[in-house]
Amino acid sequence: MKKIVVIGSLNMDLVTEVDHLVKPGETLSALSFSALPGGKGANQAAAAGKLGADVHMVGKIGADDYGDTLLNSLKQANVAADGILIENNGSPTGMAFIQVSRTGENSIVLVNGSNNNFRPHDLDAIRGVIEQGEIIILQLEIPFETVVMAIDLAKELGKKVILNPAPARSLPDELLKKIDLIIPNEIELETLTGLPAKTEDNIYTAADRLLASGAGKVIVTAGDRGCYYVGGGTREHIPPEKVKAVDTTAAGDSFIGAMAAGLSEGLAERKAIDLAVKAAAVTVTRKGAQPSLPDRGEVEDYFSGKTL
């Protein structure tokens, strides 16, 4: 099994359930509140770890109770924390304030905290962890210069690089050329390319723009429309599994972690996408970020009678 290294954010998700997403100027009473482990980096690591992959997390947390909670959650998901640095300068662990509506829609406000202090020089301290990995996963919730240096290091070491370009921002072609697999959602695809991504034709056109800019392959996640796989002569729409969504908070992270887990055990990319679609489908039937991520048995049980 190939080792996975996830370089990215760790957040405590402070989640309020609401009747509907709050509108500008509106005051709304919450239906419930919970504090749950999250952060796109940690979520993707936990998703892969719960599915049986050998995963190491790289990032930074504060020396506080939220940081301890995040470490414990990763441990329970079978994720090695040997690449996580702990700040002792009073900077808090990252937080995300999340609203989840009755229909499963969500909105998120990030407080970066220690994630924002994960700087390029910090990579020197955990270079050995990165060297162990064969699949490197990154997002954009840590400083961009750290992402760039981490990708440069990964390519220097001959690793497979997977990028989830979230939060959405434009990326230079010289960086895209170093990415083997980029996995944006529709909004992120529009931001990356400056093109619309409302229809299937739009998505293929925008994905082709990424390929022309140098990215290896593109998978566009499109919520209840499934995903689109483009590159290497392939243009395919993969439909979603039909489930009743309760909370979509970690659906994309579940997809990416499961995709990497499948690749780490030797599945072809197309087969790994099938696993990712199923894992994401189970995730949205449950509340929270990391608590909603399924293990392999739960995925197989949920889709019993179907072939993974």
Share of the chain above pLDDT 90, in %: 86
The pLDDT assigned to 305 comes to 62
**130-152 average pLDDT score:** 97
Q: Which residues of 189-201 are buried (b: 16+ CB within 10 A; e: fewer)?
A: bbbbbebebeeee
Condensed to tens digits (0 to 9), the pLDDT of residues 34-78 reads: 999 999 999 999 999 999 999 999 999 999 999 999 999 999 999
Rg of the chain over all Cα atoms, to the nearest angstrom: 18
Q: Give the helix/strand (H/E) hosting 299.
A: helix 296-302
The pLDDT assigned to 306 comes to 61
Q: What is d(CA 128, CA 119) in angstroms, rounded to the nearest whole number?
A: 17
**134-147 average pLDDT score:** 98
> Of the listed 13, 122, 247, 253, which one is catalytic?
253
Condensed to tens digits (0 to 9), the pLDDT of residues 176-207 reads: 999 999 999 999 999 999 999 999 999 999 99
The pLDDT assigned to 275 comes to 97
Q: What is d(CA 108, CA 98) in angstroms, rounded to the nearest whole number?
A: 5
Indicate the DSSP class of residue 141: S
Give the three-state DSSP class for 144.
helix
**111-135 average pLDDT score:** 96
Of 206, 133, 165, which Cα lies nearest the Cα of 40?
A: 165
Q: What is d(CA 116, CA 9) in angstroms, rounded to the nearest whole number?
A: 9
Condensed to tens digits (0 to 9), the pLDDT of residues 91-110 reads: 999 998 989 899 878 888 88
Give the three-state DSSP class for 234.
strand
Is the pLDDT assigned to residue 139 strictly greater than 80?
yes
**240-247 average pLDDT score:** 88
The three-point CA angle 48-50-56 to 5° equals 50
Q: What is d(CA 40, CA 253) in angstroms, rounded to the nearest whole number?
A: 6
Condensed to tens digits (0 to 9), the pLDDT of residues 16-43 reads: 999 999 999 999 999 999 999 999 999 9
Q: Are 183 and 210 in contact (CB under 8 A)?
A: no
Is the pLDDT assigned to residue 308 strictly greater than 70?
no
Is the pLDDT assigned to residue 124 strictly greater than 90?
yes
Q: Are 66 and 14 in contact (CB under 8 A)?
A: no
253 has catalytic annotation: yes
Q: Are 10 and 59 in contact (CB under 8 A)?
A: yes
